[in-house]
Structure 1
Amino acid sequence: MAEGGMVYTWSETGSDHRHSGMYSRHSRNYVESVSIEICTIMTRLGYGEMMRRWRVKKYREYNRLVNAPYLKKQGNAATYMYITAGSKAEGLTCYLESDWDQLWVLTNVLCVEADINLLTISDDIDVFRMDTMDTRVYPGHCRLLQERPAAHARHDIITEALCDNGYGGVLLSSSLLLDAYSESTLTHDANVEHHERAGPSIPETLTGVLHVDKVFALQCYCPSILQRWADRRRNWPSPTIVQKVVSLGALVTPVGFKGSDYKHVEWRICFNTGEAELVNNLNDTQAKVYVILKMILRDIIKPNNKEITSYVLKNIILWQAENTPQTEFHSRSLLYWLHDGLKKLRTAIEKKRLCYYMIPERNLMEACGMHDYQQHKWVADITDMLEEGPNVILRLEKIRKAIVASPEPMMWFSKTRMELEMLQLEGEIRSIVIEENNGEVDDSESIFEKRQYYLLIQVAQRMFLKVSSANQLIDIQDRMLM
């Protein structure tokens, strides 16, 4: 591919990759062969179907083990449910490649839509009514009115976040609750570095390299919103997956609409577990297009303050999947769908509009903080990328390095990197099991550590490095897993 120069220009005309009218300088066969090669390279980089599925399985196992102690609690003590979210839950990033998004859901509080029968809800649960009908509440957001306090003690952070709505009712303030939750999560652990809060996220860095985003959430029962999504006519996903997404329900997180005067008492409705299920049901080509778009966002567009986020790209991919027969997504069509995704991103930036996949009335681009000069620059940059064609791939550092690398070392590096990631995740899981077993370590612990040590020594030898300390090996591993 590198030797061929990958010189190619996409045409803006035509809407179907099966028609040669889309290609202006090269044959359909050439473009499809380049697509296949890019798919192969993405697999070697750790974004293939098998690795993706393995990551999803292991992060789910991690969730189960973290939640086990909470599930064992008896009585009316408030407990949390832990959920790995974002790209980790979707299996689309290596261990240190991006932030580890973590949801902490308070399990003895429930937010419900209007007309939900409270008699079906346990007296031990705090119930708040979701107000979505107020014209001052932006789509996809709500206010939470206290409907019924729990019969027994409620969590302190809920009590501290209650406020008067001015009409005799009691509201749950998102900003007050986030303040209380932030304070409760502060630790003096030397291995934890706390960062400035970003929206609903409480960012931390663990052991200097692992970036974690903690987000507090409440359970939300909103069947009418999910049913409106389920009733849409679609090519994807299957009815079985649609019903599974509905069954996974929703959450609300403590963040209001950026442009609202009342954002301190507003909450955002989210479908993290359902969206993870949807992404997990994308096929191999769709997942790789999503990853490449994220690379373009990071390496080329480079927004400074999250004016455009990977969440915008995820919604573009989900709309792509819903509106197109699944048979259209295959390794030969990767470049077509990448081109289509870039066009949709350019339109979203140009019009400052992109409908949220789960609640189309919510515009993901509204109040995103994008200035006019950024808008014009990014539209021009994406237009250049569209005209550049497959050559844009060479501007992405990871893919470019994989292209120019010699095949044998690249294959060895890819295999070693994925095994190190597997060992790292297995180590995270084992550490929880050991903690649950009061520090008892089984024989597998030393076996895994020996294998990691052996692999890292091999990497050091290939790099012609003289390793004199364990810290140097740890540094090599960290760089491998980014």
Structure 2
Amino acid sequence: MFQAPDYTCTVSERLSEVLADIGVDERIVLKRRRAYMQIESIHNSALQLKDKKRTLYYLGSQSEGTTTLRLNSDTDVLTCKNNFNIVQDRSGWQPGVHNLLMIQDDTVSPGYCLLQRLRDDAPLPYNDVSNEHYFRDRTGRILLSNTLIPAALAAADFKGVHNGPAYTEPGQPGVSESDIVVAFPCKTWPLQARQWLDQQGVSRWLSDDMKRYCSNTGCFVVGVGSKSSENDELEWRISTSLAERCLMFNLNITQIRCYVLMKMILKTYIKPLYEGTITSFICKTVLFKVIANTHSNFWREKNLLVCLLCCLFVLYNSVLYENCPHFIIPGNNLIGRHITQQSKPHILEILQYIINSEGTALLAIKCEDLGAGLQLKLNYLLSFNTRCFVSGYILKTTAQMVDSSIDFCLDCISNSSHEEAIQKLLEYIFKLVTISNRGQGLEKTACRLLGPWFCTTLGSTLASLNIQQYSGISVEALTWISLGLNTDVSSSKLKLASMFYCIGDSNRTELVLRDIEGSYDQNIVEPVCCHYIKKAFRKGFHVISDNHNEEALQYATAFCVKFLPCEINCVPTELQYEMFRSTEEDLAFRGRFDNWMDWAVVDSLPYLYFLQYKTYSYLGRQDDKERTLSNLTRTIEQEPELGHKETALNLLGQCMEQEDRPTDALRCYLLSLNLRRRNNAAKFHICRLLSTIVNHQAGTML
């Protein structure tokens, strides 16, 4: 089947080099895994702070490190509802949660189960049909229908698209879509997978430690039935996702590269013609099967092409015989009913062509320019290295998760009084200390990343209360805000400068702003906004990201500056308008995650220049005032990554009013309104400015 060894070795080595250049090497794979496990920990820490009874798991290609930038892999998130308890026998019944008995018998499709409701006060069958999501079968059992999941998501105003057990949430600009799966936890290993724990393939790849870990993770059930079942609304799929993640984390780099190549082949040759027939999970299952049945020395860099062709040959047979057994639950056929009789011969023809080409078919793969890169390598030329860009993407994704987690936690105090907000922030901080003390590794890091943000907000809230009471700032407020000054390059320090500005301390304001400007290297520092997401593009940021992990957030990112209503006395008058951006009519046009519109939110760099302009104006430093106004104007015109450009334009417009340039001010407000037609304070500024102009003209005429 294969050409001479020298040929396959040469192609394999060049192919490995190309994949390494685009970020499929040991270091970047580990970097991806660490980042997404850290993101998972940050997200779950935020959920604990708000006492949410659910746990999130980041699964699939992103967290496994088995993707590239242009594969555009979805982010797979499994949301585990901890207020449910799935048991395989009644001894696992627990008080205080919804207990459901997993039924796995001959009436249920392999890999699936039924869920029988148990009583809340005892491990006995429940006898009443309590709502439309429960069904009494012919034997009298009360079974839970998987229609519960879409109904619950609809009630929560979730706008995703239903696709099997997953609900796809559209991605924002520059970020991949998220596939969200809602699951219920079962603490015990599924009966249908018990035999797998005793199997041992040729490779002896599955160590006792791996099997022990897998069995201890238990499993999940997700709300989708088998396509071949007559009662698909009553069936729930058994998921061994955490065990599968364990297997993926134990692959070597050649095995990972083989999997990435299979996905690139799917993207190039299969998906454009036969979407939904062969999935990446089927490719993963084929890979597991081949690994289990080959010796470990087979999976070497110089053998990559042979490994790939071997996997494709097994995939070909799976399609031919319409049978691809789930690796852990082999009774579950993953291909059944996915491939039609019309498409089957064409898919087989494509796979046969790729196998017989012995590598030349890879030259047609445009994803990541793999084909062109391989041709260059074979011609002994250098290909472009994109690993730094991958590192930048990973670090920015971590930053966005920190940002969105902070928003998620602060949302509940959005309209709180000073006293209520202070109490809640202290509660968050003490909870994080508790989580950190009992956690380890990534949990401690998550708490270390989140904690300073709450300290900053607490300090600013205390300062707002102080200013309201006696026009000063207490030592306590300064102490708390000082604990959060190093969250990033600028946002927390800008809050401190804002506090000083609002009490009229121009000298200390100018000192803090000068320090921020000195640290803000625009060739490196990347703006971060969870409301507006684009891929990082600064080369300096990519280089920093490639050499560091999440600690680089302190000196390579600039988060937006966010003020809650309880911080209003630390906000300049010009920015306070943003807290009142919405008319009664505008409220109807807000989305599910638009509560931040009740806050004052501004990008760091334009806010830095705005505060400098106001401060230098007060100090009478004309040259510095003109320089910072020019910087503010240039930033708005040239910075492509502003998340709140409309707010920056509103601030610039008010600066133009101060400069007695009403026409330029009106132009700024109109540009702002063009960017965001609804929920924009520019409407108020336009009305106010026009009123001023009219009154001034009337006064002149008199």
- Structure with higher Rg: it is 2
The alignment partner of 1:171 has SS state of strand
Answer yes or no: is the 8 Å Cα contact 1:125–1:150 preserved in 2. no
Show the 5 A alignment for 1:144-155.
Answer: 144-149=115-120
Provide the rounded CA distance (Å) in 1 between the counterparts of 2:539 and 2:205.
Answer: 45
**Is the counterpart of residue 244 in structure 1 residue 213 in structure 2?**
yes
**Is the counterpart of residue 258 in structure 1 residue 227 in structure 2?**
yes
Show the 5 A alignment for 1:330-409.
Answer: 330-368=300-338, 370-397=339-366, 398=368, 399-403=370-374
Residues 348-407 of structure 1: CA deviation (Å, up to 9, x unaligned): 111110111011111111121x22221000111111111111101101112123235699
**Is the counterpart of residue 233 in structure 1 residue 200 in structure 2?**
yes
Provide the rounded CA distance (Å) in 2 between the counterparts of 1:380 and 1:59.
Answer: 38
Provide the rounded CA distance (Å) in 1 between the counterparts of 2:641 and 2:373.
Answer: 25
Amino acid at match of 2:112: H
The answer for the alignment partner of 1:82 in structure 2 is: 56
- How far apart are residue 122 of structure 1 and its match? 2.8
Show the 5 A alignment for 1:109-258.
Answer: 109-114=84-89, 116-118=90-92, 121-133=93-105, 135-149=106-120, 161-174=133-146, 176-186=147-157, 194-209=159-174, 210-223=176-189, 224-234=191-201, 235-258=204-227
Amino acid at match of 2:294: T
**Is the counterpart of residue 445 in structure 1 residue 488 in structure 2?**
yes
Provide the rounded CA distance (Å) in 2 between the counterparts of 1:150 and 1:285.
Answer: 53
Residues 141-171 of structure 1: CA deviation (Å, up to 9, x unaligned): 01101123378xxxxxx96632322433211
The answer for the alignment partner of 1:99 in structure 2 is: 74
The answer for the alignment partner of 2:15 in structure 1 is: 38
The alignment partner of 2:95 has SS state of coil
- How far apart are residue 200 of structure 1 and its match? 1.5
**Is the counterpart of residue 471 in structure 1 residue 640 in structure 2?**
yes
The alignment partner of 2:81 has SS state of strand
Provide the rounded CA distance (Å) in 2 between the counterparts of 1:211 and 1:196.
Answer: 11
- How far apart are residue 305 of structure 1 and its match? 3.9
The alignment partner of 1:83 has SS state of strand
Provide the rounded CA distance (Å) in 2 between the counterparts of 1:145 and 1:131.
Answer: 7
| Cα distance change of structure 1 residues 361 and 238 upon mapping to structure 2, 3 Å threshold | same
Amino acid at match of 2:115: L
**Is the counterpart of residue 281 in structure 1 residue 250 in structure 2?**
yes
- How far apart are residue 473 of structure 1 and its match? 9.4
Residues 201-259 of structure 1: CA deviation (Å, up to 9, x unaligned): 11111323431111100102443344321111232122111211111111110000012
Answer yes or no: is the 8 Å Cα contact 2:170–2:178 preserved in 1. yes
The alignment partner of 1:383 has SS state of helix
- How far apart are residue 445 of structure 1 and its match? 2.3
The answer for the alignment partner of 1:17 in structure 2 is: none
The answer for the alignment partner of 2:279 in structure 1 is: 309
Provide the rounded CA distance (Å) in 1 between the counterparts of 2:64 and 2:84.
Answer: 27
| Cα distance change of structure 1 residues 28 and 383 upon mapping to structure 2, 3 Å threshold | same
| Cα distance change of structure 1 residues 422 and 89 upon mapping to structure 2, 3 Å threshold | closer
The answer for the alignment partner of 1:191 in structure 2 is: none
Q: CA RMSD in A?
A: 2.8
Amino acid at match of 2:150: D
Higher relative contact order (CA 8 A, sep 6+): 1
Answer yes or no: is the 8 Å Cα contact 2:188–2:217 preserved in 1. no
| Cα distance change of structure 1 residues 150 and 106 upon mapping to structure 2, 3 Å threshold | farther
The alignment partner of 2:335 has SS state of coil
The alignment partner of 2:177 has SS state of strand
| Cα distance change of structure 1 residues 396 and 301 upon mapping to structure 2, 3 Å threshold | same
Answer yes or no: is the 8 Å Cα contact 1:203–1:214 preserved in 2. yes
* Structure ranking higher in strand proportion: 1
Range 320-329 or range 348-357, more displaced: 320-329
The answer for the alignment partner of 2:6 in structure 1 is: 29
Answer yes or no: is the 8 Å Cα contact 1:423–1:448 preserved in 2. no
The answer for the alignment partner of 2:686 in structure 1 is: none
Show the 5 A alignment for 1:313-332.
Answer: 313-332=283-302
| Cα distance change of structure 1 residues 415 and 196 upon mapping to structure 2, 3 Å threshold | closer
- How far apart are residue 472 of structure 1 and its match? 7.3
Provide the rounded CA distance (Å) in 2 between the counterparts of 1:32 and 1:410.
Answer: 19
Provide the rounded CA distance (Å) in 1 between the counterparts of 2:371 and 2:381.
Answer: 16
Alignment TM-score, normalising by the size of structure 2: 0.56
The alignment partner of 1:81 has SS state of strand
| Cα distance change of structure 1 residues 95 and 301 upon mapping to structure 2, 3 Å threshold | closer
Residues 280-307 of structure 1: CA deviation (Å, up to 9, x unaligned): 1111101100110011011111254412
Range 297-306 or range 89-98, more displaced: 89-98
Range 325-334 or range 199-208, more displaced: 199-208
The answer for the alignment partner of 2:685 in structure 1 is: none
The answer for the alignment partner of 2:412 in structure 1 is: none
* Structure ranking higher in helix proportion: 2
- How far apart are residue 425 of structure 1 and its match? 2.5
From 369, 379, 390, give the equivalent of 1:418. 390
Range 448-457 or range 207-216, more displaced: 448-457
The answer for the alignment partner of 1:428 in structure 2 is: 400
Amino acid at match of 1:315: T
Answer yes or no: is the 8 Å Cα contact 1:226–1:246 preserved in 2. no
Q: Give structure 1 stretches of 5+ with no counterpart.
A: 1-10, 12-21, 152-157, 188-193, 460-466, 475-482
Residues 64-83 of structure 1: CA deviation (Å, up to 9, x unaligned): 11111333566xxx611111
The alignment partner of 1:265 has SS state of coil
Residues 323-354 of structure 1: CA deviation (Å, up to 9, x unaligned): 12222211011111111111111111111101
The answer for the alignment partner of 1:155 in structure 2 is: none
Range 350-359 or range 436-445, more displaced: 436-445
From 25, 41, 65, give the equivalent of 1:64. 41
Residues 409-455 of structure 1: CA deviation (Å, up to 9, x unaligned): 844x4143123223313312432564453475644523698625598
Answer yes or no: is the 8 Å Cα contact 2:524–2:539 preserved in 1. no
Alignment TM-score, normalising by the size of structure 1: 0.80
Provide the rounded CA distance (Å) in 2 between the counterparts of 1:315 and 1:170.
Answer: 35
Amino acid at match of 1:91: G
Provide the rounded CA distance (Å) in 2 between the counterparts of 1:35 and 1:219.
Answer: 42
Answer yes or no: is the 8 Å Cα contact 1:237–1:281 preserved in 2. no
